Structure formats: C-alpha cells, structure tokens
Amino acid sequence: MRATGRGGSNREKSGWKKVSEMAIIKKIIGGQSVGDKKKEELEKLRRENERLRGLLARAEEEKLALSEDALRTRTEWEAAFDAITDRVFVEDGEYSILRANAAVLRDFGSTAQNLLGKKCFRVFRERDEPCPGCPATQAIRTGKPAVGDMENRCLKGNYRIRAYPLVGRSGKVSEIVVEDIDETTKLEEDLRESEERFRRIVENASDGILAVDEGYRIELANKVASEVTGYPPDRLLGLDFHALFDEKNRAYLQDLFRRRDSQTNLRVCAELDIVTARGEKKETEICLTSVQDRRGATRAYAYLRDISPTKRIETELRKANDFLRNLIENSVDGIIAADLKGKIILFNKSAEKLLGYKSEEALDRIHISQLYPPGMAKKIMAQLRSPDYGGVGRLEPFQINLVNKEGELIPVNISAAILYENEKEIASFGIFTDLRDKLKMEAELREAQLQLLQSEKMASLGKLAAGVAHEINNPMGGILIFSRLLIEDLPPEDPRRRDLERICEETTRCKEIVKGLLEFARQTSHKMEPTDISRALAQGISLLENQALFHNIRIVKNLDPSLPPILANAGQLNQVFMNIILNAAEAMEGQGTITIRTAPGPERDTVIVEFEDTGSGIKEEYLTRIFEPFFTTKEVGKGTGLGLSMSYGIVQNHRGRIWVKSKEGEGSTFYIEFPIKGETEEAPS
C-alpha cells in the first residue's frame, strides 16, 4: 500500500532532504568568506536540519501506529461480525454484496470470493432483477428498516429478514445490513406459547397462586386464590398483598420481606390466618418465593392452600395420640418406627441419646437402613415376616449393632414388630436397649480377672527368678574362686592361664546377669544412695548387648561422664532402663538403632536421660495410657502391661518424672528426669 499523509513517501522525504541540503550548501558557497559568524550560521542550520529529520521520523512512527490500530480494529470487527449466529450480510445501494458473515457462507455453502461483488438477487434467488417485496428495496427507498418474508431454494422454505439502511455523509443510503430473523421470530412465537401454557397451568392449579410486584400489589391471581380469599378476581388484581392478613401476620410478612437477603431468593412456608373478603379468618398454608427478573426487579409469588379442615382433623388426632406419645417419649429404651419405604416416622428421646441424631433430623433426612450395618435392615424385615423368630410380624429380643451419627457401632438388644391396617403392612417399629454399659462392665470384669492372673504370673516369675539366681550364684562363685586359685598356681608363661582367665571373665559376666535377675525380683537392697547415672546405664546396657535380641540393633551411648550423682537405688534404676530398652528393641523388631543420652537439665539442678529408638512409634490414642497398669498393645500372652507402670512408679519414688514423645511410624523417645539434690534413705519397695 502506498504511504500517504503529512510525512509523504520515503522517496519524497529523501528528495526533500537532498534539496534542503543543497540549498544550505549553495548558501554557504555563495556567501562571503567563511568566518566565525558563517560557521555559527552553518551549525545552526545543521541543528535545524537534524530537528526536522526527527520530526519527520516521529510522524512516520505515528502514522504506522495508526495504521496498525486501524488494522487491529478491522480484524476485531470482522471477528465479531463472523461470531453472529444469525445470517447477516451487507450490500450497497445497487444490491451488490459487500460483506457476509460465516453463518451466510456456511448455510449457503459458498465462499467470500463467490459472494462479494455479486448481486444478492442473483446469488440467493438466481434472478436478473431485484426480488418483489424485498425488504432491502424498501429500506433503500424509504431510508427506514423493513421486515419481510423471502423464499430461498437453498434453505428449502420461507424465512424472515430485516433490512437496516446505513446513511452516508451525503445523506443517502450507502449500505444495507440484511439480517435473517427467522429464528428470532420462532423464539417469539415459542415465548407466546409458553406464556399461554403458563396461564393455563396457573388457572388449573389446585393451590391459589398470587404474583406480587415490588410495591406488594397483586398483579396475577388464579381462580383458586379467588375462592380461598373470597375476593373476586377483578378485586384481587391491584390489591395490597398485606391486606389479606390481620395486623400480627401482616407485621410478620413485612418483617420477613424487610430482613431477606437481597442477593438470595426468598423461600419460606408458614401456616398463617388470612382475612377473607367477608372479614373472616381462615387457616391457610402459605409458601412464598421471590425472584428477580432481567431488569433486577423483585417479584414474589404466594401459594395458598386452605388447611382449616385438615387442621381440625389434626387437632383431634393429636389429642388422641398425646398419651401414647408421652409414653413413647419417656421410655428408657430407644423406639424407632418407619414406613414401608424406610422413612422414619417416630424417633423418641432415648433414640436421640442412643444414636446422636435429633428427632427432626432423623424424620427429615435419615433412611432407616442408615441406622444399621449394610444389609442388616433387610435381614431384620425378613425375620419379621418369618414364623421362625417369634412369629410372623414379631421379633424376639436379640443382640445387634446400630450405627450412630459418628459412624460408630452401638451394641443393642432389639425387639421389633410390624404394624398392620386391614391386614396390610403399613409400618414397622423397633425397641432398642443400649448394651454399652452392660458390655463395658462385663469387659472390665474380664480384664480384672486377666490382670489378676497376670499379676499372679508376675509374682511367680519373680520368685522363680530369685530362686534360679540363688541356685546359679553359688556354683558360679565356686567356679570363679577355683579358677583364680588355679591361675595363681600356674607360671605367667603357661598357656593355660589364658583359658582360666577366660573362664573367670565369663563367670563374672554370669554373676552380673544373676545380679540383674536378683534386682528384677527385688531380692537386693533398695537403699537410696548417691549414684552415677551414666555408670548405672553403662552397666545395664552391658547386660543386654550380647543377647540374641540385640544382634542386629546398634546401641549408641552419649553418656555425660561429668554429671553430678543423684540420690537413687541403682538396682531399681537398672530395672527401669532395661524395661525401656527391651520395649524399644521389640518395637524395632530386632533391627535398628537405640540412642541413649544423659545430660544436665535446663536449670542444671536435674539430670535427664533420653532413650530414642527407630521403631514403629506409638499411636496417638495410646500415648495417654501407656503408663497405666496392665495396659499393653501386645497380643494376649506376649505382654503383661506392668513394665512401664512399674517404671513409672519407680521414677516417681525417686522424685523424678517420665514422659514420652512419639509419632506412629517415626519411632519413640522416652525422657526421664531426676533431681540432683537429696539425702540417703530407703527406697520404697
């Protein structure tokens, strides 16, 4: 495209530049001798020339930007034009097609090259002259929009079009926009049919229907609404909606409309008394809804139902059932009834307490099968209909589980029956007795019996350990004495000395093990005396390191040798330490790392011992119970549940404290803290 505008073409700019430079050179050559004044004029002219060049370049950039904006605007306009779903094309005053959107090209199976510049009557109707009655012809003549029906062979039928004239600067029609409005016309017809259908539905509805505008004036009322209110239809239209109610209910409705959220549609049902045209009160059920139309105006719809006959029957029935309901509500057992579809129709207070549901919640949203484990509800109904479980329609008491609101299983005794009317099943009900307290007491009794048995076993084990220790201790002493006597009789270079020394070492180790057994069985003194906690730990660990359970366990000892002594009984402390270490080894299933540390407390008036393992950790719900007597997570027969409780008691007797930090799957760390100060005394047994 040829560049035009203030800047002219590049060739024109170049020519102007040359002419200007030549004029300047001629002026300089034709002048007087070159002096300082002439040099200043030359420099001034050169700067002026540079400024003019800059202005020309900027003008060129602005022209380019305007050209790009125009191109982008045209592209956006063409995209919007093609996005119109209706068929639209533009032609000039001579019926030549200038533009056509994608819908035209698609529906007529053509391309822009085949349409643009062609006469519309030739392209669409294969005629040599404008079509009779064409809206485009009328728009060209009158300069006003025109609408008409046209026939097109490609579309196989008639369709409606609208022509819009575009007036040019001369005041004459320069272009005509032709739009296919056939779909729009069909939509308008569908809307009219829909409105008529809506009116028929409203008129034949079994409830009274009122439409209320923003000013609370009734603008639509059906025949039933007229019958309920007693107002003729012509009097209802335009009547203030609030005039249908007494002062109390009017205030309620006004407050309801005033407090409603403008962003949320109103949906509420209530039983209100209306005041009829005769001034009589009538009990009605009224449901109110509000909606916003496209303009944002709010309209309300009221649905009226005369419930005065129903209310009378309900009152009589309520009186007849009050006594029975009181009996049911005050029953200590849960009583639940449901219809044949499983909808709950009765849910007493004891059932609320048993299952955690409120009565209203159960009646409105809970199906009877949700209260049982999967498949149990059907099984119970099958038993009720069978003669084998107490007779047809009856179910003798037996134990089952119910499912409460939290998904927990609740053990209960159930007895049930089917209700009949004219020998036809209409509902079923069950009476549920909570067995949790009873089963808990039975479990506690069994646990107490088991604990007593375990306690007796532990006592027997302690006596056995003490007896075995004493029996082993005497021969070990003899072996140790005679081995040392033999060593003394042998010269230093005798190779048998090494064997005898090995016998002495192993015998000494056996005596240490026996000593540990005696301490476990509490056969040693419990005297409290200053004790080096790190040394006591090292001795205790030495008894365990060579056992089979610790072959694949690495024990890391970070024991502070400079800790001050604490007042303690070393034997009891070893019992605590070995218990914790053995528990850690079992938690790691014989493989992992146990790290044992000793360090002064934060205030340096206590000593802290840490046992950290890489085992499976402790569940969160067990952390508060692990020090309870007889509490164990091991299988029956594999643990007594006394180890940690005994350790807890020993630590407390030493005026210390013990606690644990653990997370399931990430190991455990036991902490024991002992005070440094104290006096020598006997430790409690």
What is the DSSP track for 45-85?
A: HHHHHHHHHHHHHHHHHHHHHHHHHHHHHHHHHHHHHHH-S
The confidence score (pLDDT) of residue 184 equals 66
For residues 500 and 487, the answer to whether their CB atoms sit within 8 Å is: yes
The fold of 205-306 is Beta-Lactamase (3.30.450)
Quick one: what percent of the chain has pLDDT higher than 70?
Answer: 81
Residue with tokens 């539905």: 201
Torsional class of 14: left (φ above 0), alpha (ψ -120 to 50), beta (otherwise): alpha
The fold of 312-434 is Beta-Lactamase (3.30.450)
Give the integer Cα–Cα distance in Å for 336 and 357. 12
For residues 395 and 384, the answer to whether their CB atoms sit within 8 Å is: yes
**Count of other CB atoms within 10 angstroms of residue 290:** 17
The confidence score (pLDDT) of residue 523 equals 45
pLDDT over 60 at 233, yes or no: yes
CA 29 to chain centre: 90
Write the CB contacts of 456 (distance below 8 Å, at least 6 apart in sequence).
none
Indicate if 525-682 has the same CATH topology as 435-523: no
Give the integer Cα–Cα distance in Å for 632 and 642. 8
The confidence score (pLDDT) of residue 300 equals 84
Helix 496-520 to helix 533-545 angle (10° resolution) is 110
Give the integer Cα–Cα distance in Å for 3 and 626. 92
Give the integer Cα–Cα distance in Å for 432 and 350. 9
Split at pLDDT 50, 70, 90, the class of 9 is very low
The confidence score (pLDDT) of residue 152 equals 67
Domain definitions of the chain by residue range: 10-79, 84-187, 205-306, 312-434, 435-523, 525-682
pLDDT over 90 at 608, yes or no: yes
pLDDT over 80 at 504, yes or no: yes
pLDDT digits (tens, 9 = 90+) for 423-460: 899 999 999 999 998 888 887 777 667 556 645 655 56
* Overall average pLDDT of the 191-195 stretch: 75
3-state helix, strand, coil in the chain (%, to 5): 45, 25, 30
Residue 478 corresponds to which tokens in the numbers above?
A: 């003899």
> Which ranges in 546-612 belong to alpha helices (H)?
570-587
CATH match of 435-523 with 1.10.287: yes
Give the integer Cα–Cα distance in Å for 645 and 627. 5
Longest C-alpha distance within the chain, in Å? 147
* Overall average pLDDT of the 350-358 stretch: 92
pLDDT over 50 at 587, yes or no: yes
Give the integer Cα–Cα distance in Å for 382 and 367. 18
Spatial CA neighbour of 146 closest among 173, 116, 119:
173
> Which ranges in 330-435 belong to alpha helices (H)?
349-355, 359-365, 376-384
Q: Write the CATH number of the domain with boundaries 525-682.
A: 3.30.565.10
The confidence score (pLDDT) of residue 372 equals 94
Between these two residues, 671 and 195, which has the higher pLDDT value?
671
Residue 134 corresponds to which tokens in the numbers above?
A: 């064409």
Q: For residues 308-323, b (16+ Cβ closer than 10 Å) or e, as one string?
A: eeeeeeeeeeeeeeee
* CATH fourth-level superfamily of 84-187: PAS domain (3.30.450.20)
pLDDT over 90 at 39, yes or no: no
**What Å distances lie between residue 621 and 586, 647, 664, CA to CA?**
20, 21, 10
pLDDT digits (tens, 9 = 90+) for 624-677: 777 776 667 666 445 545 677 778 878 888 888 888 898 888 889 999 999 986
* Overall average pLDDT of the 263-268 stretch: 76
